[in-house]
Amino acid sequence: MKDVLTAPFMVEMIRTATNMYAHGWDERNGGNISLMLEENEVREYLDPEKALRTIPTGFAAPELEGKYFLVTGTGKYFKNVQYAPEVNLGIVRLKDRGQQADLLWGYADGGQFTSEFPAHMMSHAARLKVNPENRVVMHCHPANLLAMTYVHDLDEKQFTRTLWQMCTECIVVFPEGVNVLPWMLCGTNEIGEATAEKMKTARLVVWSQHGIYGAGKDLDETFGLIETAEKAAEIYMKIAHLPRVNTITDDQMHLLEKRFGVKAREGWLD
């Protein structure tokens, strides 16, 4: 068996967590990532029949039974992932209709997966129905998106339109827009279900006064989605208190749709 620390998925996960920390999106233990793995890639490094222990999930996700995930640990600092991956990350396989997870590697100090495991797994299930290629769910606390939820209308059409207006490429990167949840208690099945519901129509879901969820086919795409939305929110926070003299008009957005072959969320442009 090869050393799992050399696996491309592991190297990419560690780089991504490190980069997210460097962007200031993951203070302390803030944020979490889950990456779905293929059985054949796991088998190169681990024996799936050798579970270290079994962890109850507290919810059911029958569509994910038998699926493998590399997931950040609860209470673990993104800052430390690169120095001690085996303590801060774990590889699990769901069983019993998703109600339990066999730990195959990691959480070496006796820890377990993120407290946001329900939101991650329910979002994976929702996104896989929209796009069978989806592999990543990522949560973090980027300052400008968070700040925006204190001063901007939380209506998702209005919130999205503001983001689209802040950088020309926003509508190209997330034409479906962002969905927005009101403040809810984190780490619960309820916020997991609400997030998954929102994931049916967009890959970005803002958690008001908390952070953002992104989903995508790989770590790069998902990171890029959050990065683009956060850049737009940063520009908004720089200009929100100033008179708006110019903007990107809806006519210009339609030109972008044509040029880049994307379609904005139905009814969200005039």
Taking contact as CB under 5 A, which single stretch among the options 39-47, 63-71, 170-178, 204-212 is the one that binds Zn ion? 204-212
Taking contact as CB under 6 A, which single stretch among the options 49-57, 108-116, 155-163, 172-180 is the one that binds ligand 13P? 108-116
Q: What's the CA angle centered on 57, arms 13 and 85, to 5 degrees? A: 25
The binder of 201, among ligand 13P, Zn ion, none, by C-beta within 5 to 8 A per type, is none
Question: What values do phi and psi take at 247, rounded to 5?
Answer: -155, 175
Q: Which is nearer to ligand 13P, 115 or 189 (CB)?
A: 115
Query: In terms of DSSP bridges, do strands 204-207 and 178-181 run parallel, antiparallel, or are they unpaired?
Result: parallel
Q: Among 32, 88, 144, 208, which residue sits at the site for ligand 13P (rule: CB under 6 A)?
A: 32
39: number of Cβ within 10 Å: 11
Catalytic-labelled residue, pool 12, 41, 116, 197: 116
3-state SS assignment for residue 101? strand
Q: Among 16, 17, 25, 30, which residue sits at the site for ligand 13P (rule: CB under 6 A)?
A: 30
Annotation says 116 is catalytic: yes
Q: Among 9, 17, 31, 195, which residue sits at the site for ligand 13P (rule: CB under 6 A)?
A: 31
Taking contact as CB under 5 A, which single stretch among the options 36-44, 68-76, 192-200, 206-214 is the one that binds Zn ion? 206-214
Q: What's the CA angle centered on 119, arms 15 and 92, to 5 degrees? A: 60
Any alpha helices (H) in the chain, and if so which ranges?
A: 8-22, 39-43, 78-81, 85-88, 117-130, 143-151, 156-166, 170-173, 189-199, 219-239, 250-260
Establish if 116 lies at the interface with ligand 13P (CB under 6 A): yes
Active site (catalytic) residues: 116
